[in-house]
Structure 1
Amino acid sequence: MFNPSKEEVRQFFCEAWAKQERSGILTPMESIAARWMVEHPEYHGILSDLESAKEAEYTPEKGQTNPFLHLSMHMSITEQVQIDQPPGIREASKQLSIKLDSEHEAQHKIMECLGQVLWNAQRDGTPPDMVAYVEAIKKLV
């Protein structure tokens, strides 16, 4: 299973952004990342400075969203939708995108559902309830 360190995740995003900026050839995974990085101009400065990115701390107390966690969640949801795993997420995502007239906004709503399911699993010491995850998304449609 792929389990990169914090530094590896940040390096991946910063290097993919650098390639995107210079119109370099991206791997399939970098292409997915670049798609979401383009959608988040507020992160471009962070992504353009690998050394600062490696050192940055994002805590709720500072009122900052962790751009690397946010982009990683976009990538995870994109993959889930592409392979329809958990079953039903592709259709639920499609319907939510239609309702909101924005795949990006739909992903942000899905992210909230995913965060809740992960938080519940961590709190309860159980595997994430993927049926509840898809049902939560369907309730948004």
Structure 2
Amino acid sequence: MFSSLFDLFPNLDAPLFRHRPIEFHRQYRWPVEPESPQADIQTTETAVLVRLDLPGMRRDDVKIETEDRQLIIRGTRKPPDDQLDVQERWSGDFERRFTLAEYLDQDNITAKLQDGVLTVTVPRQPEAKPRQIKIETE
């Protein structure tokens, strides 16, 4: 009938994410699908970090882009070459989407893949500093 509680009540989690710098896109299911890398999100004073577990994946297996304040991470984990008796690790295509807050600078996002963990750094936009405006006379 319903694949998750979030299908029954589509806005059930909205209050949880109202004040967060990044929120999960509605494509996610709870719990996270096994074919989807798990993500951690950390907010610092200067940026928001999104970390995804991607063990065994290479840089060329992953694509990152932004579109309409969405951070989109796509990739493909290739199946093993060997014939396996049991396969518990997932393989195939995945996509994760995160909505970015307006105060994040989506033009200066960086990413690093190290030790099987992809870290995407989304910097905060510099805050406008108060200044005096000179009034000119004619």
Instruction: Bin the TM-score by the shorter chain.
Output: under 0.3
Structure ID, larger Rg: 2
Higher strand share: 2
TM-score norm. by structure 2 comes to 0.28
Greater relative contact order (CA < 8 Å, ≥ 6 in sequence) = 2
